[in-house]
Structure 1
Amino acid sequence: MRLAIIPARGGSKRVPRKNIKDFNGKPMIGWSIEAALLSAAFDEVWVSTDDAEIAAVAQKFGAKVPFIRPAELSDDHTGTSAVVRHAINWALQHQLKPEFVACIYATAPLLQAEMLKEAMLQLQQDAALDYVFSGCRFSFPIQRALYRSESGKVSAVDPASIPKRSQDLAETYHDAGQFYCGRAQSWLDAKPVFSSGSYLYELPQHLVQDIDTEEDWLRAELLHQLLLKRL
């Protein structure tokens, strides 16, 4: 069984109710659900939530909500992996046997169905992999990063890298925060995602945007509008 799990708790604070807030004509979570369904990479798409309104919206867009997430897994300190493990264990307790499980974030409106399809195929075809996750190249060499003091003065994070040309520094990548496809057993064993057992599926920079503030939201909407015009 290939299972997609979309975590979506109701207690977002920096952007209140962001999982179901309107984003270019649809509740935010609707875009993630549609990408998962359109990918045809999953047998079922579940939303894990503690919130009745989010559950209703998720079902409207075609996802299943087989359980209401317990309160102890719905606070500000609960990590994604714990939520995924809870869903897998629920499935096992109800005679379902997920083999491949993807965690897809509810706030990933730039996610494309084809990316999910390719990432899942990569995982299924390489038995050595625990996970395939979305990542993106840093646009500027992080080796030349600076610290800034409260007074505004700066110091180099790596002084030896400052005089080097950008093209002479190794490219570095960051988690794009859109999806994490993994083997069910790897999730249950709490194997780390960012390790040698994982494959980084690179996303282009124009399809990556964290959404933690109102400014982030506006930028993501503008990127998304441009993307819709191209499709």
Structure 2
Amino acid sequence: MKENIVAIIPARGGSKRIKGKNYKKFKGEPAISSTIKKLKKSKIFNKILVSSDDPKIIKISRKAGAETPFKRPKNLSGDYITEIPVIKHCIKFLNDRNYKFNFVCCVYPVNPFLKVSDLKKGLLKVKRKKEGHVFAATKYQFPFFRSFIFSKKKLKMIFEKYYKKRSQDLKQIFCDAGQFYWASKKTWINGSKVFSKNSDIIIIPQWRHHDIDTPDDWKKAEQIIGINL
């Protein structure tokens, strides 16, 4: 029996800090188009689905080669909606049409540092798991346990008990790279938390983890891509 695999890109309109973020041109091409083309090039996915409430995103995504069979409902398009209900909505849409598939990868639309090799590593790992997610993560650049708050001209250590420990003796801390999230269809339907004891990670280098939330972040990301790729 053929094992179908689906990629779902949650791409809501109405970005507050970067206008038209999902279709803003990154190195000359709409950001979401680059991501879709990378997913197609990987030859991993039988379907690449974009869930959006924005007609422009839908049009650009379709042109890049993704499927956009519906406009995302308003109740799933608010500022505080997380990815899980959006993914579950897409899964229900496919199930209702008797499309058979086993694994789903949620992929963020603005994803210039995404690598096909990481997606493939994630798929291999998730196939060996009974539950839980697999996602990209990177090591914190600085000793997390030495962090502090500076407020009202006063400094306060967050983890005071680690103050006298050498940095090399502190545990290595990782953070989510915000690129992709693999899981079985069942895990997504169950609404399981991404950050759980059952999850696993694909470690990526620090230079490929870059939050893009402001225009300055965008420019910096383009510069990093230009230097490293």
Fold in common (TM above 0.5): yes
- Does 179-188 or 151-160 show the bigger shift? 151-160
Query: Does the CA-based 8 Å contact 2:48-2:66 persist in structure 1?
Result: yes
Report the Cα offset of residue 152 of structure 1.
2.7
Report the Cα offset of residue 212 of structure 1.
0.9
Which aligned segments of 4 or more residues in structure 1 are displaced greater than 2 angstroms? 127-130
Aligned to 2:16: 13
In structure 2, C-alpha distance between the alignment counterparts of 1:70 and 1:163, rounded to whole Å: 53
Gaps of 5+ in 2: none
Query: Does the CA-based 8 Å contact 1:47-1:63 persist in structure 2?
Result: yes
> Identity, % of aligned pairs?
37
Report the Cα offset of residue 84 of structure 1.
0.5
3-state DSSP of counterpart to 2:177: strand
In structure 2, C-alpha distance between the alignment counterparts of 1:205 and 1:31, rounded to whole Å: 21
Aligned to 2:163: 162
Aligned to 1:63: 66
Q: TM-score, normalised by structure 2?
A: 0.95
Aligned to 2:130: 128
Aligned to 2:223: 222
Amino acid at match of 1:208: H
In structure 2, C-alpha distance between the alignment counterparts of 1:97 and 1:130, rounded to whole Å: 20
Question: Which string of whole-angstrom CA distances, capped at 9 and with x for unpartnered residues, describes residues 14-33 of structure 1?
Answer: 11110000110110111211
Equivalent residue in structure 2 for 1:47, among 50, 67, 78? 50
Q: TM-score, normalised by structure 1?
A: 0.95
Amino acid at match of 1:139: Q
Aligned to 2:5: 2
Gaps of 5+ in 1: none
Aligned to 2:143: 141
Query: Does the CA-based 8 Å contact 1:129-1:199 persist in structure 2?
Result: no
Amino acid at match of 2:184: R
In structure 1, C-alpha distance between the alignment counterparts of 2:215 and 2:115, rounded to whole Å: 23
